[in-house]
């Protein structure tokens, strides 16, 4: 098989190549002198004119199988596509000569599985934090109500007792009646969302601070008329609920009290 001659368009170096070498990569070769990748088929020249212009110039490097020419004079044919990396390659192939990266198998199945898992996780979070979500994004309330209708749950106002505090309180005797006392207190919501008003537990104590009587005060008792019908009484973010309540202690003679807030189970 007679060799052909191709010329590098970058540096003008002529090289002998075999037809089989040109067909290895659709004619793509790399110049052994300037390392430019070019189309060897498009660069074919007449062997006679190339020999006259270059023989015996060292720029005319042999490119025949089994013949090893100096590195600066050898054109390198781009290797055929292979799944295995070639260990003696000193430089990576140009991007357009790289082997196509195989697509992972079952990518659609894995993507669908991940989507289902994320959907289930989002549903669990929405169920657990439905009260906070409804308070922060009221537009989601209809969807949450519909979901709770199917799951037999309820979308209540948020209950974060650690973000509620009793700012002040006092218990005084009512001079109009011996057994009557007056409870005054201020409850503050330190949360960034509206919250349900808590219940209060009032404990009356004797001089030794032993409990004499306890009473639980629900929001509808100390804040009557607040909130819409069917909804729990609410306290806005950063707001205060002020209460003043008259209580009849009967025959109990208390000298002290304790007051704390909580949410019933």
DSSP, residue by residue, 77-119: EPPPP-SSPPTT-SSPPPGGGSPPPPPPTTHHHHHHHHHHHHH
More confident site: 255 or 184: 184
The pLDDT of 192-201, averaged and rounded, is 93
The pLDDT of 21-40, averaged and rounded, is 79
Domain's final residue, options 78, 97, 116: 97
The pLDDT of 206-235, averaged and rounded, is 80
Residue 162 pLDDT: 94
Which of the listed ranges 67-76, 161-170, 242-251 does the model predict with the highest average pLDDT?
Answer: 161-170
Does one domain contain both 135 and 56?
Answer: no
Range of the domain at 142: 107-151
Evaluate if residue 97 carries a pLDDT over 90: no
Does one domain contain both 141 and 214?
Answer: no
What token pair was written down for 222? 């100390």
- pLDDT one-digit tens code per residue, 161-195: 999 999 999 999 888 887 889 999 999 999 988 99
Place of tokens 């189970």: 265
Nearest Cα to Cα of residue 201 among 112, 261, 154: 261
Dihedral of CA atoms 150, 151, 153, 155 in degrees, nearest 10, equals -60
Give 76's pLDDT tier (boundaries 50, 70, 90): very low
Does one domain contain both 123 and 174?
Answer: no
- Asked if residues 144 and 136 have their Cβ atoms less than 8 Å apart, the reply is no
Give 89's pLDDT tier (boundaries 50, 70, 90): very low
The pLDDT of 25-51, averaged and rounded, is 77
Does one domain contain both 166 and 256?
Answer: yes
Strand ranges across the sheet with 180-189: 164-173, 180-189, 240-248
Question: Phi and psi for 5 in degrees, rounded to 5?
Answer: -125, 130
Mapped onto helix, strand or coil, the DSSP state of residue 6 is: strand
State the average pLDDT for the chain: 76
Evaluate if residue 74 carries a pLDDT over 50: no
Does one domain contain both 19 and 77?
Answer: yes
- pLDDT one-digit tens code per residue, 100-153: 555 656 678 888 888 888 888 888 887 777 777 777 777 887 888 888 888 888
Q: Where are the beta strands (DSSP E) in the chain?
A: 4-7, 14-17, 28-30, 37-39, 44-45, 76-77, 164-173, 180-189, 195-196, 199-205, 211-217, 234-235, 240-248, 256-262
Does one domain contain both 165 and 254?
Answer: yes
Whichever domain contains 189, its CATH number is 2.70.50.60
Does one domain contain both 39 and 125?
Answer: no
More confident site: 89 or 174: 174
pTM over 0.75: no
Does one domain contain both 65 and 133?
Answer: no
Q: Residue 211: inside a domain, yes or no?
A: yes
Number of domains in the chain: 3
Does one domain contain both 192 and 249?
Answer: yes
Please enumerate, as own/partner, the contacts of 228-234 that have beta carbons within 8 Å and a separation of 24 or more.
Answer: 231/157, 232/156, 232/157, 232/196, 232/197, 233/196, 233/197, 234/157, 234/194, 234/195, 234/196, 234/197
Q: Residue 102: inside a domain, yes or no?
A: no
Does one domain contain both 88 and 117?
Answer: no
Does one domain contain both 12 and 69?
Answer: yes
Q: Residue 244: inside a domain, yes or no?
A: yes
Q: Residue 156: inside a domain, yes or no?
A: no
- d(CA 166, CA 189) in angstroms, rounded, equals 9
Residue 104 pLDDT: 59
- pLDDT one-digit tens code per residue, 46-58: 776 655 444 333 3
The pLDDT of 230-246, averaged and rounded, is 85
- d(CA 97, CA 28) in angstroms, rounded, equals 9
Does one domain contain both 192 and 221?
Answer: yes
């Amino acid at each position: 098989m007679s060799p052909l001659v191709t010329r590098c368009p970058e540096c003008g170096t002529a090289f002998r190549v075999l037809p089989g070498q040109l067909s290895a990569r659709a004619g793509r070769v790399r110049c052994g002198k300037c390392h430019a990748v070019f189309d060897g088929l498009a660069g074919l020249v007449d062997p006679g004119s190339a020999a006259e212009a270059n023989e015996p110039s060292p720029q005319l490097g042999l490119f025949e199988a089994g013949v090893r020419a100096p590195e600066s004079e050898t054109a390198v044919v781009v290797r055929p596509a292979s799944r295995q990396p070639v260990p003696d390659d000193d430089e990576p192939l140009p991007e357009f000569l790289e082997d196509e990266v195989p697509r992972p198998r079952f990518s659609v199945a894995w993507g669908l599985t991940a989507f289902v898992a994320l959907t289930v996780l989002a549903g669990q979070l929405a169920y657990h934090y439905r009260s906070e979500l409804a308070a922060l994004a009221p537009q989601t309330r209809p969807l949450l109500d519909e979901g709770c209708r199917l799951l037999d749950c309820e979308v209540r106002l948020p209950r974060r007792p650690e973000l509620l505090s009793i700012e002040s309180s006092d218990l005084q005797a009512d001079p109009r009646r011996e057994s009557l006392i007056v409870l005054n207190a201020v409850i503050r919501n330190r949360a960034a969302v509206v919250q349900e008003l808590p219940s209060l537990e009032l404990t009356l104590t004797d001089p030794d601070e032993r409990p004499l009587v306890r009473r639980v005060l629900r929001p509808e008792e100390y804040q009557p008329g607040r909130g819409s019908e069917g909804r729990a009484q609410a306290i806005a973010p950063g707001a205060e609920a002020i209460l003043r309540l008259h209580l009849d202690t009967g025959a109990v003679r208390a000298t002290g009290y304790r007051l704390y807030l909580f949410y019933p189970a």
